[in-house]
Structure 1
Amino acid sequence: MTHTPYGYIIDNGQAVIDEPNAERVRMLFREYIKCGSMRAAAKKAGIDKTHSVIGRFLKNKVYVGTEYYPQIINENVFTKAQEIRGNNAKSQNRIGAYRPHPKGEIGTFTIRKVAVQYDDPYKQAEYAYSQITEVANE
């Protein structure tokens, strides 16, 4: 089970817009598009969350609406915010997080069943991670 996104509440099993917080979300997107700064946009919108949480808000596609969640942000506003996020990543040399995979995938990894090698859970986890391999791109 996941949490209810900021700007929504669950009422009688249905997701409904929590208008005061939804308006903050709308303002966050508007201000971010104006100034390009997550921190400044969040402050202006009155959202007191960490930088990473604000980033998750801005990339949360649920705000454009799903079968369960009503629309808070229109698709054009959401798309414009994603363009700005990508441009900021390029200009701040964080492009690795936004570089699309040629086939639209993040990557494919595989791991075989991992045998227990260590009693120490940290060493066992380290060993398990060492068994992960990337599948060659075709």
Structure 2
Amino acid sequence: MMQRHMPLGYKIVDGKVIIDEEKVDVIKKIFEEYHKGSSLHAIAKELTNAGFLNANNKPNWNHGSVGKILQNIKYVGDDFYPQMIDKETFESVQKRRKKKEQELGRTLQPNSMKNQSLYSNKLVCGECGDVYRKYIEHAGRPSEKSNWKCKRYIYQNRVHCRNLFLTEKDIEDTFLSAINKILSRKWMLDKGRKKEPPRITLEIRRLEERIKELEYEEHFSSKELSELIFKRAKAYYSIAKIDDYDYNTEKIKKLLAEKEQLTEFDEDISINIINQIVIYKDGRILVEFINGITMEEDHEKIREDE
């Protein structure tokens, strides 16, 4: 599994999630700066200029990558993730973000912190790559209704993304269907996973070639050789994968132990074993579990089965 599945600021050591001391400062800085009043764009620009590395180990930040960190409740801590941000700061940040959304003309349905974590962090638009948000129409009226839509459905008062609208029932039924498929195919959780070697970049190839040249010429004590070896180590680290497949598979097994087919949506199981669901305009929905296993669902079929 690629490192993107592990929130920035954490890493796995001996099968346990711990705080990554090399990355924790950037997480705290993002929350502190936003809490003090800085905008997402200003924070992203400052991080980029300062050379802070993002989740892909690149010093390139934008308002979207900063926003995703600010909405990730895992930083408050739970049974698996140690606390990095105190709850008071996190809640204050969410209130400010909600206020900014309203100022931008987006009306969001107020949700509990847990509900926001369950849906907002897990629904992804397969057409434009943005997240889904809950929008309420005719608030306070008998005709009030809500739907989950791509965040870029309306942008700057124009329709930008025409992906599917989902009701909460659609979402819950999608989670339920995917989990029941895993329950009926538990053998998948016992199947070993082939480990893929890291993909060698052009930069690494060039470094390797130059290092071999210097070694062939026996320049073992040269300053250039020591610098190149250090650069090679950094380059390999930047493409390294966190092999947390076994850890996350065991987590799924424990939560589904002694479970048969679920007859109703289980929020606790869903939030802990499903990484994200990707929605496409043609009705396909890909449900990705935390260990990388994916199940494909059909939006229309799910509705027919209701």
Instruction: Give the TM-score normalised by the residue count of structure 2.
Output: 0.33
Query: Which residue of the partner structure matches residue 169 of structure 2?
Result: 108
Q: Residues 76 and 83 of structure 2 are in contact (CA less than 8 Å); yes or no, is this contact kept in structure 1?
A: yes
Deviations 1:64-97 (CA, angstroms, capped at 9, x unpaired): 00111111100011001100100000111122xx
Question: By percentage of residues, which structure has more strand?
Answer: 2
Q: For the residues of structure 2 that align with 1:44 and 1:19, how far apart are their CA atoms?
A: 20
Structure 1 segments (4+ residues) deviating >4 Å: 128-133
Superposed CA RMSD: 2.8
Describe the superposition over 1:100-127 as per-residue Cα deviations: whole angstroms up to 9, x where unpaired: 37xx79632379xxxxxxxxxxxxx36x
Aligned partners of 1:28 and 1:44 also within 8 Å:
no
Q: Calculate percent identity across the aligned residue pairs.
A: 30
For the residues of structure 2 that align with 1:32 and 1:18, how far apart are their CA atoms? 21
The one of the two structures with greater contact order (alpha-carbon pairs below 8 A, sep at least 6) is 2
Report the Cα offset of residue 43 of structure 1.
3.3
Using the alignment, how far apart are the partners of 1:36 and 1:85 within structure 2?
11
1:4 is displaced (CA, Å) by: 0.6
Deviation at 1:16, TM superposition (A): 0.9
Aligned to 1:120: none
The residue aligned with 2:64 is 52
> What are the Cα deviations for residues 3-22 of structure 1, in whole angstroms up to 9, with x where unaligned?
11000111111111112311
Q: Secondary structure at the match of 1:20?
A: coil
Number of residues paired by the alignment?
116
For 1:1-138, list aligned pairs within 5 A.
3-45=5-47, 46=52, 48-95=60-107, 98-100=108-110, 107-109=168-170, 125=282
CA drift at 1:132: 7.0
TM-score, structure 1 normalization: 0.69
Any gaps of 5 or more consecutive residues in structure 1?
Answer: 112-124, 134-138
What's 1:136 paired with? none
